[in-house]
Structure 1
């Protein structure tokens, strides 16, 4: 559930009939930077806790349409890789000591009590989205005081069960890493074997033998070696690699098996 519910109850900006009540979309948007996996979080005005980017499902949208819209609103990017990984629902999940009817009334100038439907049973459909950290321009809205990247190893206090959503997304991503060419979305177009090796180690949170890792990844055909080296000063310059677009698309459609 999101703070933009306030807008749906404002008579000056009443669009409640455009959306399905009691259903929201929450999006775990992930990027990779300086050997750290990052998650994009937002903090509503007047609150000390953070939220995942999310919103409501329009009556004219599919679930994927809504997830793509939310991702674009927060990253300013189109056509991002995203996967649905779960749904969260329980009678108590909308109850949070920092999210009370009184506080909402104070910041919105709308009288809200604990019988309001936003404090009723709410189900969130969850997606994770992968994006190139360097290309993202984090974007909030009028009700978000901050929208910034956080390391997944240093998550701030979160509203509701959004920390559980992040943990669930990471578990799913680790499973998907063996079946989808995940690195395509998180790395620059050209990269070295040590760079993609470091990415996989970061996501899996474990060490991988770099010699066997490179051989196994190349054997899948999803990456190809270029006749080009990365210049890194006086040290030996490593060869650059890139994903094979055709093999990448095939792997997305059919899946792959990477034994690391």
Structure 2
């Protein structure tokens, strides 16, 4: 298995429209481990398109409980179950994820009970080993996962991750710029950081159509302008920088050139502007 990161969903926010990218999900393959970080809409198809059998996941990590990061977790596990999953999968996420899982099982109880009775399937409920994601260190097989709390108000249980084995990958999660991110990501082979083009916020808010000015307030206090992402990456001395959870990503007035221009005000290293399905080798 090649050590790599695949950006399966790179759109910021939950809405999709014709021609847009899919919400957030990231696949980390390192030292024989297959780790899924976040499970936004489209993640099941994204895994298959990346050549990963749904039964081969070693762990799933959910960074916070905004729908674009865990909406498809239940359908993913259910589909893996129908595809032959018979071993428990560690699922690590914020407090409250267990409630989602129980709600999903309840909503699908007729189908689940029927397939257990009619097809001899194992108990689906037992296949998700849900534990609480907390600041500190977690073990994912041979990998170490370090966790810090990021800044994504009004959510407090929102986290950045660093996965370390023979390589090191830092994933910012959804966050405003925070000073500690540079130290957290120090020397990583790859930093995957969310990014926003501040100039695109007016058009995005107008396009949503069913919110008010609170959406703008949320975006501006909870996400990271691209130039500040570049500054963090430069201070951290990471080898490569990838932008994901792009806000906006579907406005034709803002192209890859705008992302590069903003980010490279501060960043001078290799830059990947995330697109769905992009695989970045770590070796």
- The reply to whether TM is greater than 0.5 is no
Larger radius of gyration: 1
